[in-house]
Amino acid sequence: MRLHALQYLRAIAALVVVYSHACIQVPAYQAKMMEFGSFGVDIFFVISGFIMLYISKPTHTPGAFMLNRIRRVAPLYWFFTLLMACIFLIMPSVFANTELTFDALIKSLFFIPHFSSAHPGEVWPIVAPGWSLNFEMYFYLLFALSLFARENLRLILISVAIAGIFLIAKLSGGESAFAQFLADDVVFEFIFGMLLAHAWKRGWRLSSAAGTVVFITGFALLIIHSQKLLLAAYDLPGIVTNGIPAAMVVAGTLFVKMPDNRIGVMLGDASYALYLSHIFVLGLLRKLLPPILGDGQISAYLFVAISLIVCVLVSIPVHFLIDNWLLRHERLSALRSPARREA
């Protein structure tokens, strides 16, 4: 069963990420906007954990699972990574905070965590939003390995593996990019999603009203934390400030009764394209709009509103004309020998 409400949530999560990045594009506008939305990635991680356990079957093999995940995630990401490299080589001034090295390009293409030369201290690939894909691939690898075990043990094995690797990396105090990557508690959000899927598959349900309350509460907590309005004096881990509220948002979405809306589902389908393409669109709008809009409060609102609309409009053809094209089976079958294709 396809849970179309999760598609709507994917669209919302991508949009709040775009909003958060639009707010910081122009220094003159940044101080005038209420910044929030980076928590959209936390919502994506919980959804990912839910979906992987929800769709898993006893017949799935580790190799087939990883190939399917790579086929789904990598092509569009590789497209934008190579596009970023080409733009940098041709017009390096377009992206103010981007530097390109061959080492960074290779590590970005193969989802290997590394420090960004353009953003010191950040473990980011050259297409910055791709940092979340490194965590996705890490989770997919652990999930694939769990397929060697019985289905009823997968949740336990993955949870133990994530917790164990996290503790080892944390206690080691390593300063390498890989050590910092493994010691990020954002990985527990995948476990939250898997726990929700485990409960869902066993028939746990809430009323639509209760689901709405859980959703609103979780979303409110994410915004409150982003504004440092609650418990700001305490250095709470991300698993508390973002992970638990994100899980609440996803849990609430599962139980809220919503109609099956074609546009909402389409925007959910295009959310991956929106997530990867929006920084390119924002880079262009940052150059074009401020001279036209000015630097007042209304100008800041208009810039962010126009950015959201244009980013969404661009993501739809990117999804249908690029992402879907790259995912067609013909792209792979064309590489096979004539005898294999005929068979």
- For the chain, 343 residues long, the average pLDDT of each consecutive 10-residue run is 83 97 94 92 98 87 93 96 91 67 94 89 93 98 94 94 96 92 97 96 91 96 87 79 96 89 93 97 94 94 98 97 82 48 42
Would you say residue 106 lies in a domain?
Answer: no
Nearest to 217 by CA among 243, 242, 249, 190: 249
Residue 328, pLDDT score: 76
Give 123's contacts (C-beta < 8 A, 6+ positions apart).
113, 114, 115, 116, 131, 134, 177, 180, 181
Q: What percentage of residues in the chain have a pLDDT greater than 90?
A: 75
Residue 270 belongs to some domain of the structure: yes
Torsional class of 176: left (φ above 0), alpha (ψ -120 to 50), beta (otherwise): beta
DSSP state of 321: I
Q: Would you state the pLDDT for residue 341?
A: 44
Asked whether residue 252 is domain-assigned, the answer is: no
Q: Is residue 75 part of a domain?
A: no
Please give the radius of gyration of the chain, using alpha carbons only, rounded to the nearest integer.
21
**Residue 143 forms part of a structural domain:** no
At 153, list the tokens.
Answer: 């043990």
Q: How many domains does the chain have?
A: 1
CA distance 246 to 238: 11
Helices 62-90 & 131-146, crossing angle to 10 degrees? 170
Does 93 reside within a domain?
no
Measured in residues, the chain has a length of: 343
What pLDDT does 90 receive? 87
Residue span of the structural domain in which 20 resides: 1-38+258-343
pTM of the model: 0.93
Considering the domain boundaries, does residue 253 fall inside one? Answer: no
Q: What is the pLDDT of residue 285?
A: 96
Is 329 contained in some domain?
yes
Cβ(140)–Cβ(158) below 8 Å: no
Residue 322's CB: how many other CB atoms inside 10 A?
A: 17
